[in-house]
Structure 1
C-alpha cells in the first residue's frame, strides 16, 4: 500500500509553483543549504544537540580516501577496520554496533544513501569521500528527524554545489603500493542555469602479499553530474530545481580470510593462497531530484525524490565443503595442519576427502526509491521565535540474494574447479520494505535559550521470501513514535550549556524472525560549549539506556538466524573536542586540535546467545568492539605558503567477545597508536603540492579477527599530490 502512494506524492512535490507569494530577488540562494543538515560549521555552536562538521580542507589535508580515517576527527564514533582501505567500513555511534554501519543513518545531500536501509541495512556501499565538500555527523536529539536509525545518530555526505561562476579543480596523487588518485571537477553557471561534472578514479595494488603472488588491491571509479535551474527576477515564487546523476563502480581483490596468530606475528601482511580468486565487484547508480520553493521570507518547502540501484558480487573463500569449520582451523593450526597447508598452497587437496575448498559468490541486487517533502515556517508567538520543520517521507527498498557455491581443489598452489555444477544455492531470497515516516520539530528562540522539541513516527511494512531450501517466509509491520527534546542556553557569546533526550530506534530487517524485536533506547546528553575567536571547546556526556539490543549476523557468522535480541544495555560516555589557533609570530601560526571519547558499555541482563561475538552473556559483561578510550591530537605549523600537520591517533584495546575482567585473558585487540604527517607547499595561488605520510612508524596490530582470522591495519603509506584550482 505504501508503494502505491509514492507516485502521486512525487507529482505533488514538484508542482508547488502554483502557489502565489511576494516577489523575491532572483539571485540563487544555493541548494547547498538544503544538502546540509547541521546548517554548517558556524551553526553547530548553538545546536541543541551534538554535531561535528568536517569541511573540504580537512578532507584534503591528508589526501583522505578512507572514511574510517576521516571520522577519527569526530568524538563518539567507533570504527572497526577490516581491509585497511575503508572499502566497506564498520561505523558505530555512541555505543551502537559498528557491524557494516547497519545501526546508523547514512545520507548523501540529505537523502538516504544505503543500498537498502530498511530491508537490509548492512551498508556495503559508502560514498567516496574524495568527492565530498563536507561530512556531517550528528547525534542525540539533533538526529531525530533523520531516521530510520536514531539510536546513535546519522552521517551526511555533502557533495559540491553548483558554483555561481566558472571554476574547476584537477587533482592527482601517487603513493605506496601503487596508490593512485585522479579527480577532475568542473562547474559553471549562466543566467538561470548551472551544472557540474565530477569524475574520480582511485585505487591501489594492495599491501597484502599473496602466497602465490598476485594483485590484492582495488580500483574505484565515480562519475557524477548536476544540473541546476532557478527562477528569474519576475517569479512570484523563487524556486530552485537540481537534478543529480551518479554512477560508481568497484573492483577489489578483497577477502574474508585472515591469518592465524603465529602467521600474523611472522608477517601481518601475508595472505593465504586459498584466497587467490577472491574478488568483490559492484555498480551503484543514483538519480536525485531536489526542489526548493520560497513562498515568503517565512515559508519554504523542500522536496526530494530519489532512485538508487546497487549490484554487488563477492566471490570469496568460505571454508571447506563438508569439512572442518574455518574458524576452528585458524584457531588450532597445529591440530589441523593438513588443512592449513592447503590454505597456504603448500599441499594438494585429497580429492577423496573433505579437503575441497568452498568459494561462494555472494551475489546481491538492491534498489531504493522514495520521496520526501519538508516545510520550514517561521513565526513569532509572544516572546518565542519559532522555526517549525515538518516533513513526510515515503520510501521503498528491496534486496535479492543469490549466493552460489563452487568447489575447488588446491593443486600445486593453484585453485582448480571440481566441475560440479549441480550444487544448490546457499541463499536465494528476497526482502522488501516500505516505510512511511513523519516528523515535526519546533525550534524556539527565547532570550538566551534555544529550545528544540520534535516527534518522529515510522510505519514499516516488510516481507521476506525464501526461494530456496526450507527457510521460512516473514511479514512484519513495525510502528514506532519517537519523541525528542533538547535545549541550549548561552550564558554569553562564548559560553553555553546543552542537554537533551530522545527515543532511539533501529528497525529489524525484513529477514528477521517474528519473535525478534526492533532495537529501542532512551538517549540522554548534556554538555558545555565554549568558543571565542581562536578557541572552541566542547564536552558532552551521554547515556543510552537500551531496551533490547539488536544483533545482526553476517552470512559468514555461525548464527541461527540473521537477527536476534541481546537484552538491556547501558552505555555511558564522554565526548571531548577542542581546537585553538596560536599566532606565534606575524608569519607563523600553530593550529592545535584534540578529540577524545570515553565509553563504558555493559549488558544489564544476562542471556544465552548463538551469536559468536556475544556468546553466553552475564550481567555486567562489556560489549565487544567498543574501546574504552580513543582519541586524536593534531597540531601544525603554518608559515606563508608552507603548511604542515602532525596527527597522533589512538584507539584502545577492545574485546572481540562480550565479557568482563582482564583483557589479556579474553579475545581482544591491542591498543594501536599511529602517526600521520602532511606537508603542503602553495607553489602558485592556485597550485598546491602536498606530501602525506600515513602510519609513518609502520605500526601494525590485529584490528579484527572477523570474519575469519587476524587482520592488520594499513602499513606505512606515502602519498604525493598536486592540486590545481582554476
Structure 2
C-alpha cells in the first residue's frame, strides 16, 4: 500500500525537481496544462470518435447553477435521482449506470480523480461546487475508458477557473427564497514569472422544508481554491509549466434520510417529521494538487499530476426504529403501521408505542485518496496517417474509515429524549483500502476523412477490508483489461458519422470480499453529427451487461452496508438526440435554442429473488429501477449585447423504484413531471451585471424518489436575485 504519511514527500521532491528550470509568464496558450481538460471546447466535440458534451462557463452562468444535477440535464444520456432539492448529495448515472450516489461514473476535477475514495467506497458524498467551475465535460462510451476505474457509463470532468495573466477580479452577491444567500469573490494576477488566483464561494439557505415543532432544515457551504503557477521563459530550451492548487470546502447542513408517507407528501410536501429533528451533516474536504508539464518539442509533451485529497464527514441522522419494523416498510404501509407512523410524527410518545425508540446513528467516516499520474502526448506521421499517441500510468491509493455509533431516543411530548445508553454495539467499525495501478494507451489516427481511435486500459486493483467488530480481514484483488475502439468519418464538411465499442467495468469494493465479481459490460454506440447553421447529434447506444451489480447502502433494509448483489445479464439500450440553433433577428437580437433528449429501455435477462430492495422478485424482462424511458430538456432564449432571457423546460417520465414491467404499481414508481426555469440578465456595462433566476415557476410538487427512507418532493418555486461586479 502507498504510505499516506509519505505522499507529501513525493510532492516536495517533485516540486524541487521543477525548480531546476527558469519560469516565465508567456506561454499559457502553448502549454500542456490543457491536460486539465478532457475535451477542451465545443468545437473539439465535433470530430470526436465518440460522444461527449462540453458545458462552458456561459452556460453555467445562464441560471447561476449551484446544483450540478440541474446543469447536467443539458447533456443527453444523463439520469438524475433527486434527493434534497439543492443538489447537496447528487445521484448521477450515465447511460443506464446506476445513479445511486454517482458511484458508477468517474468524477474528476481538472482531470484528477476527486471522489472521496473511488475504489474503496465509490459512493460520492463529496463533489466539487459547480458554481466555481469554468466548464463541465461529459464523456460517454469509448471516449471514457482513458479515465477509469468506472467505464460502464461514462465520466465527468469539472474544470476550475483558469489562471489569467491579466489582473482580474470579481465580486458577486445573490439573495433569494428561504433566505438563500450566495457570495463569491475571485482575483487573478501575475507577478513577474508567477501567476496566481484566489476563488472564494459561500452559499446557504434556511431550507424549504418545515420541521414539525420548528427547527433548522437549511445548509451552508464554504469553498476556497488557490492556485499558484510558474511558466518557463520564452527562451528556455523546453517550455514548462508547474501549477500548485490548494482547496478547502466544508458543509454544515440539517439534512436527513427520512422522507414522508405518500399521503403526507401530497398534503404538505415540505413537511419534516419530528423524528428527524437531530439530523445534521458536517463535512470538510481538503486537497493539494500539483501539475507539471514539459514540451520537449512540437510533437512530444510529458505531464505529471500528483494529488492528495482528504474528506471527513459526520452524518448524525434518523436511521430507523429500535424495537420496531423497518422505517421504509412502515412508510410504505401507513395503513398497517399506524403506531409507528404516529411515533415518527411525534403524535404519540414511545411509552404508547411498545417502548419503540428513534434510532439516531452517527455515520462518522474519514476518506482519503492520493496518487501520481505520468502521461505523454506524441504526434507523429506514418505516411499519410497522422497519429496522436497518448499513454500514461497512474499509481493510486484510497481508503475509508467507518465508525457508526447508534443512540436511542424516546419520543416524549414531541421531543426526542436520549435514553442514556452509550454502550450499544456499533453498527460499523471498519477500514477499506485499495492500491490501484492503471495503465492506458490511446492512438488517434487521422487519415483523410477518417479519424480512428483505439485504446486500452489495464487496471490492477488490490483491495483490503478490515472489520474490527468481527475481527476479520477480507481481500479483493483483480486485474482487468479494458479495450475500446471508435471511428469517425467526416463525409461532408457539415456531416460526420461515428461508431464505437468498449468494455465496461466497475470494480467490486473491498467490502464485497474475495468472492464478489466486478460489474462488466460491452458497450456499443453509433451516431451522426451535423454542424451548419444548426447543430444536431443523434446517437444510439447499447450496453450488454454480463454482470450488473447492486450495492447495499445503510438505508437499505435486509442487507449489510457495502454488500453487493449480482443480477447477471442485463441489457440497456437507447437513443440520444441533441441540437442547437441560433436565429439572428433585427437590431442585434438573437434567439438561441437548444435541446437534449434521451430514450432508454432496459431488461433483466434472468429471473431471480434478491434481498436487494431495488430488485426484489425479478422476472426476466423486468425494467431497471430509477431509469426513465424519456428524459428531455428544451431551452429557448432571446438576447442582445445588454439583455438576455432564457426559459428551460425539463421533463422526466415515470420511473420504477423496484424492478418490474407492464403497468406501474402504486407506491413503486415516481410520476412524470415537467419543471420550468427562467432567468433574465441585464448587462449594465462591461463591469456590472444583474440577474434574476426563477426555478420551478409552476411550483410542480411530485414525488421524485422514495429513497433513502420515504417519499421526497421536488423543490418548490425558488427565486434568486444577484449582482456581479468585475474589475
Query: Could you say which TM-score interval applies, normalised by the shorter chain?
Result: over 0.9
Bigger shift: residues 25-34 or 72-81: 25-34
* Structure 2 partner of 1:516: 516
Q: Deviations over 1:347-380 (max 9, x none)?
A: 2111893311110000000011100011001110
Counterpart CA distance in 1 for 2:110 and 2:419 is 48
* Structure 1 partner of 2:536: 537
Within the alignment, does 1:459 sit opposite 2:460 as a pair? yes
* Structure 1 partner of 2:659: 658
* Structure 1 partner of 2:553: 554
The answer as to whether partners of 1:68 and 1:79 remain within 8 angstroms in 2 is yes
The answer as to whether partners of 1:13 and 1:373 remain within 8 angstroms in 2 is no
Q: CA distance change for structure 1 residues 12 and 47 in 2, over 3 Å: closer, same or farther?
A: farther
Deviation at 1:584, TM superposition (A): 2.1
Query: Where do 1:184-199 residues align within 5 Å?
Result: 184-199=185-200
The answer as to whether partners of 2:11 and 2:290 remain within 8 angstroms in 1 is no
Bigger shift: residues 632-641 or 123-132: 632-641
Counterpart CA distance in 2 for 1:682 and 1:665 is 49
SS of residue matched to 1:567: strand
* Structure 2 partner of 1:143: 144
Counterpart CA distance in 2 for 1:676 and 1:352 is 45
Q: Deviations over 1:63-108 (max 9, x none)?
A: 1100111011010000000000100100000000000000000000
Deviation at 1:233, TM superposition (A): 2.7
* Structure 1 partner of 2:593: 592
Query: Where do 1:117-132 residues align within 5 Å?
Result: 117-132=118-133
The answer as to whether partners of 1:17 and 1:237 remain within 8 angstroms in 2 is no
Q: Deviations over 1:126-179 (max 9, x none)?
A: 100110000000011111110000110100000011101100111111100111
Counterpart CA distance in 2 for 1:210 and 1:51 is 42
* Structure 2 partner of 1:494: 494
Q: CA distance change for structure 1 residues 127 and 31 in 2, over 3 Å: closer, same or farther?
A: farther
SS of residue matched to 1:257: coil
Counterpart CA distance in 1 for 2:531 and 2:202 is 39
Query: Where do 1:109-124 residues align within 5 Å?
Result: 109-124=110-125
* Structure 1 partner of 2:394: 393
Within the alignment, does 1:359 sit opposite 2:360 as a pair? yes
SS of residue matched to 1:125: coil
Counterpart CA distance in 2 for 1:675 and 1:18 is 53
Counterpart CA distance in 2 for 1:709 and 1:157 is 32
Within the alignment, does 1:299 sit opposite 2:300 as a pair? yes
* Structure 2 partner of 1:334: 335
Counterpart CA distance in 2 for 1:519 and 1:10 is 34
Deviation at 1:339, TM superposition (A): 2.1
* Structure 2 partner of 1:133: 134
Counterpart CA distance in 1 for 2:336 and 2:354 is 17
Counterpart CA distance in 2 for 1:627 and 1:677 is 24
Query: Where do 1:264-303 residues align within 5 Å?
Result: 264-303=265-304
* Structure 2 partner of 1:316: 317
Query: Where do 1:313-712 residues align within 5 Å?
Result: 313-350=314-351, 353-468=354-469, 470=470, 472-532=472-532, 534-561=533-560, 562-664=563-665, 667-712=668-713
Deviation at 1:27, TM superposition (A): 2.6
The answer as to whether partners of 2:33 and 2:293 remain within 8 angstroms in 1 is no
Bigger shift: residues 671-680 or 661-670: 661-670
Counterpart CA distance in 2 for 1:568 and 1:30 is 45
The answer as to whether partners of 1:31 and 1:161 remain within 8 angstroms in 2 is no
Within the alignment, does 1:68 sit opposite 2:72 as a pair? no
Q: CA distance change for structure 1 residues 418 and 487 in 2, over 3 Å: closer, same or farther?
A: same
Return 5+ residue gaps in structure 2 as ranges.
none
Deviation at 1:319, TM superposition (A): 1.4
* Structure 1 partner of 2:39: 38
Q: How many aligned residue pairs are there?
A: 723
Counterpart CA distance in 1 for 2:610 and 2:516 is 13
Bigger shift: residues 348-357 or 189-198: 348-357
Counterpart CA distance in 1 for 2:415 and 2:25 is 69
Q: CA distance change for structure 1 residues 10 and 374 in 2, over 3 Å: closer, same or farther?
A: farther
Bigger shift: residues 26-35 or 326-335: 26-35
SS of residue matched to 1:579: strand
How large is the Cα RMSD of the aligned pairs?
Answer: 2.0
The answer as to whether partners of 1:13 and 1:303 remain within 8 angstroms in 2 is no
Q: CA distance change for structure 1 residues 89 and 672 in 2, over 3 Å: closer, same or farther?
A: same
The answer as to whether partners of 2:332 and 2:667 remain within 8 angstroms in 1 is no
Counterpart CA distance in 1 for 2:496 and 2:14 is 39
Bigger shift: residues 39-48 or 92-101: 39-48
